[in-house]
């Protein structure tokens, strides 16, 4: 990326972060970001594609830190622990990550078909598939991974905690129960 393009990207992300902090993610528009960064609206669209792309760019740093924790971090979440133990740790870590970034993630939710294609979700499914295969759970590891990762959906988290009044502790216990059933431990 050229130096001026990198500066523009940084300026746009800083403006977007300011807008989110001041007004909330529901008020984040491409036009508002362009105005706050003193650039044309087309610049924002060229850099991020659409509102979802902009929000995912805002979430990029925290997503990278979160992914690093389960791909290369210390056990039990990271390598070095048995696969079932890693699966057990993965759910609570993901629930807490989603909870911490809930407002932005919910505002980035694209239409139903496209939401399943987001890169962070793909990383989660790939990771869980790998752990299920390593644990030799039997069955179709990819389909089981899709089902498990479905439990770690930000809209479901929001519904269960905000609308149904369930605690994160209860959801984490549910994750452990689900992993035990899938892995037969």
Question: Would you give per-residue pLDDT tens digits along the chain (185 residues)?
Answer: 688 778 888 899 999 999 999 999 888 999 999 999 998 999 999 999 998 889 989 999 899 999 999 999 999 999 999 999 999 999 999 999 999 999 888 888 766 667 777 788 999 999 999 999 999 998 999 999 999 999 999 999 999 999 999 999 999 999 999 999 999 87
Q: What is the CATH number of domain 51-183?
A: 1.10.357.10
* DSSP 3-state of 79: strand
What's the DSSP call for residue 109? -
The candidate with the shortest Cα–Cα distance to 59, out of 95, 11, 13, is 13
Q: Is the peptide bond before 139 cis (omega within 30 degrees of 0)?
A: no
What's the DSSP call for residue 171? H
With left for phi above 0 and alpha for psi between -120 and 50, is residue 86 left, alpha or beta? Answer: alpha
Q: What is the pTM of this model?
A: 0.80
CB 15 within 8 A of CB 36: yes
Spatial separation of the C-alpha atoms in residues 77 and 86, rounded to whole Å = 5
CA distances from 180 to 47, 49, 84, 105 (A): 44, 41, 8, 28
Q: What is the pLDDT of residue 111?
A: 67
Q: What is the pLDDT of residue 110?
A: 64
Q: What is the pLDDT of residue 112?
A: 60
Q: What is the pLDDT of residue 113?
A: 62
* Fold: same for 1-49 and 51-183: no
Question: What are the residue boundaries of the structural domains of the chain, listed by start?
Answer: 1-49, 51-183
Q: What is the pLDDT of residue 105?
A: 87
Fold classification of 1-49 is: Arc Repressor Mutant, subunit A (1.10.10)
Q: What is the pLDDT of residue 4?
A: 79
Per the listing, tokens 């924002």 go with 44
Per the listing, tokens 């925290």 go with 62
Q: What is the pLDDT of residue 1?
A: 65
* DSSP 3-state of 55: helix
Per the listing, tokens 């759910």 go with 91
């Amino acid at each position: 990326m050229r130096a001026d393009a990198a500066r523009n990207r940084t300026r746009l992300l800083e403006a977007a972060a300011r807008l989110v902090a001041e007004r909330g993610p529901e008020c984040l528009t491409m036009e508002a970001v362009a105005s706050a960064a003193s650039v044309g609206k087309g610049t924002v669209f060229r850099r991020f594609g659409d509102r979802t792309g902009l929000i995912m760019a805002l979430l990029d740093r925290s997503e990278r830190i979160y992914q690093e924790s389960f791909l290369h971090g210390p056990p039990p979440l990271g390598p070095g622990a048995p696969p079932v133990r890693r699966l057990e740790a993965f759910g609570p870590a993901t629930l807490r990550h989603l909870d911490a970034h809930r407002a932005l993630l919910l505002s980035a939710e694209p239409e139903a078909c496209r939401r399943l294609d987001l890169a962070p979700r793909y990383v989660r499914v790939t990771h869980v598939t790998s752990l299920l295969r390593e644990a030799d759970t039997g069955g179709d590891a990819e389909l089981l991974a899709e089902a498990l990762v479905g439990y770690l959906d930000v809209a479901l988290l929001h519904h269960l905690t905000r609308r149904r009044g369930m605690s994160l502790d209860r959801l984490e216990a549910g994750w452990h129960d689900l992993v035990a059933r899938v892995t037969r431990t």
